[in-house]
Amino acid sequence: MLLLAGLIVAGCGGSSSASPASTQASGPTAPPRLADPTSAADVYRALRVAGLSLVGTDSVAGQTPSDPVERINATLAGQPLAILGYASDLGRAKLYPFRDGTAPDAGQPVYTFAGTNIVIEFGPSTAGKKPPVPNATLTAAAQRLATTLQALLGQLAERSVQRASTPPPAATPTPAPTAAPSST
Protein backbone atom coordinates (compact mmCIF):
# COMPACT_ATOMS: atom_id res chain seq x y z
CA MET A 1 0.00 0.00 0.00
CA LEU A 2 2.87 2.33 0.79
CA LEU A 3 4.43 1.61 -2.61
CA LEU A 4 1.15 2.45 -4.37
CA ALA A 5 0.79 5.70 -2.44
CA GLY A 6 4.39 6.58 -3.35
CA LEU A 7 3.70 5.94 -7.02
CA ILE A 8 0.64 8.15 -6.93
CA VAL A 9 2.42 10.96 -5.14
CA ALA A 10 5.32 10.69 -7.59
CA GLY A 11 2.83 10.83 -10.46
CA CYS A 12 1.23 13.96 -9.00
CA GLY A 13 4.33 16.08 -8.71
CA GLY A 14 6.42 17.76 -11.33
CA SER A 15 9.38 16.13 -12.96
CA SER A 16 12.73 17.53 -13.92
CA SER A 17 13.06 15.09 -16.80
CA ALA A 18 11.69 16.05 -20.17
CA SER A 19 8.28 14.66 -20.92
CA PRO A 20 7.72 12.95 -24.26
CA ALA A 21 6.23 15.93 -26.09
CA SER A 22 4.49 15.35 -29.37
CA THR A 23 6.16 17.02 -32.33
CA GLN A 24 3.27 16.29 -34.65
CA ALA A 25 1.25 19.23 -35.85
CA SER A 26 -1.92 17.16 -35.76
CA GLY A 27 -1.88 16.81 -31.95
CA PRO A 28 -0.80 14.25 -29.38
CA THR A 29 -0.70 10.58 -30.23
CA ALA A 30 -3.25 8.22 -28.79
CA PRO A 31 -2.15 6.48 -25.60
CA PRO A 32 -1.42 2.75 -25.88
CA ARG A 33 -4.14 0.28 -24.94
CA LEU A 34 -3.75 -1.08 -21.41
CA ALA A 35 -3.71 -4.80 -20.64
CA ASP A 36 -6.87 -6.46 -19.37
CA PRO A 37 -7.03 -6.63 -16.41
CA THR A 38 -5.20 -3.45 -15.55
CA SER A 39 -4.66 -1.55 -12.32
CA ALA A 40 -6.12 1.75 -11.18
CA ALA A 41 -2.53 3.03 -10.82
CA ASP A 42 -1.79 2.18 -14.47
CA VAL A 43 -4.94 4.02 -15.58
CA TYR A 44 -3.98 7.04 -13.44
CA ARG A 45 -0.47 7.15 -14.92
CA ALA A 46 -1.73 6.69 -18.49
CA LEU A 47 -4.28 9.51 -18.10
CA ARG A 48 -1.50 11.83 -16.90
CA VAL A 49 0.82 10.78 -19.75
CA ALA A 50 -2.06 11.49 -22.17
CA GLY A 51 -2.08 15.08 -20.90
CA LEU A 52 -5.02 15.10 -18.49
CA SER A 53 -4.19 17.30 -15.50
CA LEU A 54 -5.14 14.89 -12.75
CA VAL A 55 -4.20 15.83 -9.21
CA GLY A 56 -4.01 12.78 -6.97
CA THR A 57 -5.37 13.19 -3.46
CA ASP A 58 -5.01 9.68 -2.02
CA SER A 59 -5.06 6.00 -2.85
CA VAL A 60 -6.20 2.90 -1.06
CA ALA A 61 -5.08 -0.62 -1.83
CA GLY A 62 -7.40 -3.41 -0.80
CA GLN A 63 -6.52 -5.04 2.49
CA THR A 64 -8.18 -8.29 1.40
CA PRO A 65 -8.67 -9.94 -1.95
CA SER A 66 -12.18 -8.46 -2.10
CA ASP A 67 -13.16 -5.90 -4.71
CA PRO A 68 -12.45 -3.15 -5.39
CA VAL A 69 -8.81 -4.03 -4.89
CA GLU A 70 -7.62 -0.48 -5.49
CA ARG A 71 -9.07 3.06 -5.39
CA ILE A 72 -7.37 6.29 -6.39
CA ASN A 73 -9.01 9.60 -5.55
CA ALA A 74 -8.04 12.64 -7.58
CA THR A 75 -9.42 15.77 -9.18
CA LEU A 76 -9.74 16.75 -12.82
CA ALA A 77 -10.84 20.24 -13.89
CA GLY A 78 -11.49 21.00 -10.22
CA GLN A 79 -13.98 18.11 -9.90
CA PRO A 80 -13.67 14.86 -7.94
CA LEU A 81 -12.51 11.79 -9.84
CA ALA A 82 -12.14 8.25 -8.50
CA ILE A 83 -10.54 5.31 -10.31
CA LEU A 84 -11.63 1.94 -8.94
CA GLY A 85 -9.75 -1.21 -9.93
CA TYR A 86 -11.42 -4.61 -9.62
CA ALA A 87 -9.76 -8.02 -9.80
CA SER A 88 -11.57 -8.89 -13.04
CA ASP A 89 -14.13 -7.66 -15.56
CA LEU A 90 -16.67 -10.07 -14.09
CA GLY A 91 -16.03 -8.81 -10.54
CA ARG A 92 -16.52 -5.23 -11.70
CA ALA A 93 -19.73 -6.08 -13.55
CA LYS A 94 -21.15 -7.94 -10.52
CA LEU A 95 -20.16 -5.41 -7.85
CA TYR A 96 -20.69 -2.20 -9.86
CA PRO A 97 -23.52 -3.02 -12.26
CA PHE A 98 -25.25 -0.50 -14.50
CA ARG A 99 -26.60 -0.38 -18.00
CA ASP A 100 -24.88 1.76 -20.58
CA GLY A 101 -26.82 4.94 -21.30
CA THR A 102 -28.70 5.16 -18.01
CA ALA A 103 -28.91 8.30 -15.89
CA PRO A 104 -27.33 8.45 -12.42
CA ASP A 105 -29.50 8.12 -9.35
CA ALA A 106 -29.48 10.33 -6.27
CA GLY A 107 -26.05 10.48 -4.64
CA GLN A 108 -24.18 9.26 -7.72
CA PRO A 109 -21.64 11.32 -9.68
CA VAL A 110 -22.53 13.11 -12.91
CA TYR A 111 -20.38 10.69 -14.96
CA THR A 112 -19.46 7.05 -14.40
CA PHE A 113 -17.43 5.13 -16.98
CA ALA A 114 -16.66 1.41 -16.91
CA GLY A 115 -14.28 -0.52 -19.13
CA THR A 116 -12.55 -3.84 -18.58
CA ASN A 117 -12.05 -4.15 -14.80
CA ILE A 118 -11.99 -0.37 -14.14
CA VAL A 119 -14.68 2.11 -13.03
CA ILE A 120 -14.13 5.87 -13.18
CA GLU A 121 -16.45 8.20 -11.27
CA PHE A 122 -16.23 11.85 -12.29
CA GLY A 123 -17.98 15.01 -11.22
CA PRO A 124 -19.97 16.16 -8.24
CA SER A 125 -22.49 14.08 -6.33
CA THR A 126 -24.77 15.17 -3.55
CA ALA A 127 -26.13 12.72 -1.00
CA GLY A 128 -29.84 12.20 -1.52
CA LYS A 129 -30.04 14.42 -4.60
CA LYS A 130 -29.81 13.81 -8.33
CA PRO A 131 -26.55 15.12 -9.80
CA PRO A 132 -26.71 18.55 -11.42
CA VAL A 133 -26.65 19.16 -15.17
CA PRO A 134 -22.96 19.64 -16.00
CA ASN A 135 -21.63 23.04 -17.06
CA ALA A 136 -19.54 23.48 -20.23
CA THR A 137 -16.22 23.04 -18.39
CA LEU A 138 -17.28 19.75 -16.79
CA THR A 139 -18.76 18.49 -20.07
CA ALA A 140 -15.53 19.27 -21.99
CA ALA A 141 -13.40 17.56 -19.32
CA ALA A 142 -15.70 14.51 -19.34
CA GLN A 143 -15.52 14.26 -23.12
CA ARG A 144 -11.71 14.41 -23.09
CA LEU A 145 -11.62 11.87 -20.25
CA ALA A 146 -14.00 9.53 -22.12
CA THR A 147 -12.03 9.76 -25.36
CA THR A 148 -8.78 8.98 -23.56
CA LEU A 149 -10.37 6.13 -21.57
CA GLN A 150 -11.73 4.58 -24.76
CA ALA A 151 -8.21 4.55 -26.20
CA LEU A 152 -6.85 2.98 -22.99
CA LEU A 153 -9.63 0.51 -22.13
CA GLY A 154 -11.70 0.00 -25.27
CA GLN A 155 -15.44 0.47 -25.45
CA LEU A 156 -16.91 2.08 -22.33
CA ALA A 157 -20.22 1.70 -20.59
CA GLU A 158 -21.40 5.08 -19.33
CA ARG A 159 -23.93 6.30 -16.81
CA SER A 160 -24.32 10.06 -17.05
CA VAL A 161 -26.54 13.11 -16.98
CA GLN A 162 -25.25 14.04 -20.46
CA ARG A 163 -23.37 11.46 -22.58
CA ALA A 164 -19.63 12.14 -22.99
CA SER A 165 -18.34 8.94 -24.65
CA THR A 166 -19.04 7.51 -28.06
CA PRO A 167 -21.89 5.04 -27.64
CA PRO A 168 -21.28 1.44 -28.68
CA PRO A 169 -22.23 0.70 -32.28
CA ALA A 170 -25.83 -0.32 -32.80
CA ALA A 171 -26.39 -3.93 -33.69
CA THR A 172 -27.05 -4.25 -37.38
CA PRO A 173 -30.24 -6.12 -38.12
CA THR A 174 -29.94 -9.28 -40.15
CA PRO A 175 -31.72 -8.87 -43.47
CA ALA A 176 -34.84 -10.97 -43.83
CA PRO A 177 -34.50 -13.71 -46.41
CA THR A 178 -36.29 -12.94 -49.62
CA ALA A 179 -38.88 -15.39 -50.86
CA ALA A 180 -37.96 -17.34 -53.94
CA PRO A 181 -40.10 -16.44 -56.97
CA SER A 182 -43.00 -18.82 -57.37
CA SER A 183 -43.19 -20.90 -60.50
CA THR A 184 -46.89 -20.25 -61.04
Q: What is the mean pLDDT of residues 110-136?
A: 94
In a domain, 172, yes or no: no
Residue type for position 66: S
What CA–CA distance (Å, rounded) separates 160 from 125? 12
In a domain, 109, yes or no: yes
In a domain, 75, yes or no: yes
Pick from 67, 72, 71, 73: nearest CA to 88 = 67
- Helix/strand/coil for 57: strand
- All residues at 6 or more sequence positions from 76 whose CB lies less than 8 Å from its CB, including other chains: 52, 53, 54, 55, 122, 141, 145
pLDDT of residue 2: 39
Pick from 83, 110, 93: nearest CA to 11 = 83
In a domain, 25, yes or no: no
User: Does position 124 have pLDDT exceeding 90, yes or no?
Assistant: yes
In a domain, 91, yes or no: yes
pLDDT of residue 6: 44
Q: What is the mean pLDDT of residues 99-110?
A: 94
Q: What is the pLDDT of residues 169-183, one digit of tens each?
A: 766 666 655 655 555
In a domain, 17, yes or no: no
pLDDT of residue 126: 85
Which residues in 7-28 are b (16+ Cβ under 10 Å) and which e? bbeebeeeeeeeeeeeeeeeee
pLDDT of residue 4: 43
Q: What is the pLDDT of residues 152-169, one digit of tens each?
A: 999 999 999 999 998 877
What CA–CA distance (Å, rounded) separates 50 from 20? 10
Flag whether the pTM goes above 0.85.
Answer: no
User: Does position 19 have pLDDT exceeding 70, yes or no?
Assistant: no
Domain with 61, as residue range(s), is 2-9+30-160
Domain tally for the chain? 1
What CA–CA distance (Å, rounded) separates 113 from 158? 5
**Which pLDDT band, with edges at 50, 70 and 90, does 13 fall under?**
very low
Instruction: Transcribe 16-55 into DSSP letters.
Output: SSPP-----TT-PPPPPPPPSS--HHHHHHHHHHTT---E
In a domain, 171, yes or no: no
In a domain, 178, yes or no: no
What CA–CA distance (Å, rounded) separates 134 from 32? 29
Q: What is the pLDDT of residues 21-56, one digit of tens each?
A: 333 344 456 678 998 899 999 999 999 999 999 998
pLDDT of residue 17: 36
